[in-house]
Chains A and B, each alone.
Chain A
Amino acid sequence: MAAAYDLYQEQILDHYKHPRNKGPLPGASLHGRDSNPLCGDEVILHLKIDGSERIADVRFEGQGCAISQASASMLTTMLKGVTLPDADALDRDAIIKQLGIPLSAVRLKCALLSLHVLKLAIGKKTDNRA
Chain B
Amino acid sequence: MAKPAKVLLNVPAIKADFPILQRKIRDKRLVYLDSAATSQKPRQVIDATSDFYSRYNANVHRAIYELGEEATREYEGAREKIAEFIRAKSPNEIVFTKSTTESLNIVAYGYGLKGKIQNGDEIVGTVMEHHSNHVPWHFVKDHKGAVLKYVDVDDDGILRMEQYDELLTKRTKIVTVALCSNVLGTINPVKEIAKRAHEVGAVCVVDAAQAAPHMPIDVQSLDADFLAFSGHKMLGPTGIGILYGKPEALEATEPLLGGGEMIREVHLGRASWNDVPYRFEGGTPNIAGAIGLGVAVDYLTKLGMEAIRAHEMEVTQYALDKIRRIKGVTTYGPTDVRKKAGVLAFTIENAHPHDVASILDVEGICIRSGHHCAQPLMERYDLPATARASFYVYNDLEDVDALTAGIRKVQEVFA
Contact residues of A with B, CB < 8 Å?
1, 4-5, 7-8, 13, 17, 38-42, 63-67, 107, 110
Contact residues of B with A, CB < 8 Å?
26, 351-355, 358-359, 362, 369-371, 378, 384-385, 409, 412-414
A66→B355 CA distance, assembly (Å) = 7
Other-chain contact of B370, A13, A39, A107 (Cβ < 8 Å): A39
Beta-carbon contact of A110 and B354 below 8 Å: yes
A4→B384 CA distance, assembly (Å) = 27
Kindly provide the distance from the CB of A65 to the nearest chain B CB, expressed in whole angstroms: 4
Beta-carbon contact of B413 and A65 below 8 Å: no
Kindly provide the distance from the CB of A64 to the nearest chain B CB, expressed in whole angstroms: 6
A-B contact pairs, 19 of them (CB 8 A): A1-B409, A7-B359, A13-B414, A17-B414, A39-B352, A39-B370, A39-B385, A40-B370, A40-B385, A41-B354, A64-B354, A64-B384, A65-B352, A65-B355, A66-B352, A67-B354, A67-B355, A107-B354, A110-B354
Kindly provide the distance from the CB of B234 to the nearest chain A CB, expressed in whole angstroms: 25
Interface centre among A5, A8, A65, A110 (most CB of B within 10 A): A65
Kindly provide the distance from the CB of A15 to the nearest chain B CB, expressed in whole angstroms: 13
Beta-carbon contact of B385 and A4 below 8 Å: no
Other-chain contact of A38, B352, B370, B413 (Cβ < 8 Å): B370
A5→B409 CA distance, assembly (Å) = 10
Nearest 10 CB-CB pairs, A to B? A65-B354, A65-B352, A40-B384, A66-B355, A4-B362, A40-B385, A65-B355, A8-B413, A39-B354, A39-B370
Beta-carbon contact of A5 and B413 below 8 Å: yes
A67→B385 CA distance, assembly (Å) = 15
- CB neighbours (8 Å) of A1 from chain B are 409, 412
- CB neighbours (8 Å) of B378 from chain A are 40
Interface centre among B26, B354, B358 (most CB of A within 10 A): B354
A71→B384 CA distance, assembly (Å) = 19
A38→B375 CA distance, assembly (Å) = 11
- CB neighbours (8 Å) of A64 from chain B are 352, 354, 384
Beta-carbon contact of B358 and A107 below 8 Å: yes
Beta-carbon contact of B370 and A7 below 8 Å: no
Beta-carbon contact of B359 and A8 below 8 Å: yes
- CB neighbours (8 Å) of B414 from chain A are 13, 17, 66
> Quick one: given A39-B369, A40-B371, are A8 and B384 in contact (CB under 8 Å)?
no
- CB neighbours (8 Å) of A13 from chain B are 413-414
Kindly provide the distance from the CB of B191 to the nearest chain A CB, expressed in whole angstroms: 35
Minimum CB distance partner of A7 in chain B: B358
- CB neighbours (8 Å) of A7 from chain B are 358-359
Interface centre among B353, B358, B413 (most CB of A within 10 A): B358
Kindly provide the distance from the CB of B357 to the nearest chain A CB, expressed in whole angstroms: 9
- CB neighbours (8 Å) of B353 from chain A are 39, 65
- CB neighbours (8 Å) of A107 from chain B are 354, 358
Kindly provide the distance from the CB of A62 to the nearest chain B CB, expressed in whole angstroms: 11
- CB neighbours (8 Å) of B370 from chain A are 38-40
A1→B369 CA distance, assembly (Å) = 23
A26→B26 CA distance, assembly (Å) = 48
